[in-house]
Amino acid sequence: MTGYGFAMASRTTPESVEAPADDAALFRVSRVLSVVRMFGIIWLIYLVTQPLVRLALGVDRDPWAVLLLQGAIWSALAAVGMAFWPRSPFHTWVRISGAGLELSAAGSDPILLLWPDVASVEVKRQGLRSILRVTPVEMSRVQRADVHHGLPRIRDGAFTVDIGLLQPGVDVLRRAVAAHTAHA
């Protein structure tokens, strides 16, 4: 594996890695939208489980205002903590261009696969998640921008990335992949 040009950073962002072509389209997680989603999910879980726990333990109920406030505080702490966790999905990004496909998953080192080095690429649903699965022709042709955090997850010889939170969206990513793989 060989490196490609970048400015070193503790967590490599797409801005710190030079795009391999001018027509690059960037897909990344929106932190604000993700924190709001995470907050809502955790708050809902808290509001449903807290009365059940109190009932199971036989503890007197707090007023609803206290329950709502506690849920909001715990949800905010968890969502913000997740946003700054180095291996969180908030640090995933994918960039597609005429030259190839770049990706960094959950804080991994960014990799670049030129289109001739890609055996297959697919965007698919796996349960509730959307997955990008990129199979290189051979692993020795994968170019790494950094060697600090490791490669994205590899399963059955393919890089597997959860792309459900990427913006502008999974369908846009699917169309971009299809447009570039049709020409490769």
Determine whether 61 is exposed, middle or buried from the number of CB atoms within 10 Å of its CB (0-12, 13-18, 19+): exposed
Residues 73 and 150 in one domain: no
State whether 78 and 92 are in the same domain. no
Question: Is 80 exceeded by the pLDDT of residue 21?
Answer: yes
How does 125-150 read in b/e, with b if 16+ C-beta sit within 10 Å?
Answer: eeeeebbbbbbbeeeebbbbbbeebe
Q: Answer with the one of 84, 113, 146 that is the final residue of a domain.
A: 84
Predicted pLDDT at 138: 94
More confident: 91 or 124: 124
How far is it, in rounded angstroms, from Cα 150 to Cα 143?
A: 12
Q: Are residues 10 and 44 in the same domain?
A: no
Instruction: List the CATH number of the domain containing 118.
Output: 2.30.29
Per-residue pLDDT reduced to its tens digit, 94-112? 999 999 999 988 778 899 9
Average pLDDT over residues 125-143: 92
* pTM reported for the whole predicted model: 0.72
Domain count across the chain: 2
DSSP symbol at 48: H
Helix (H, G, I), strand (E, B) or coil at 90: helix
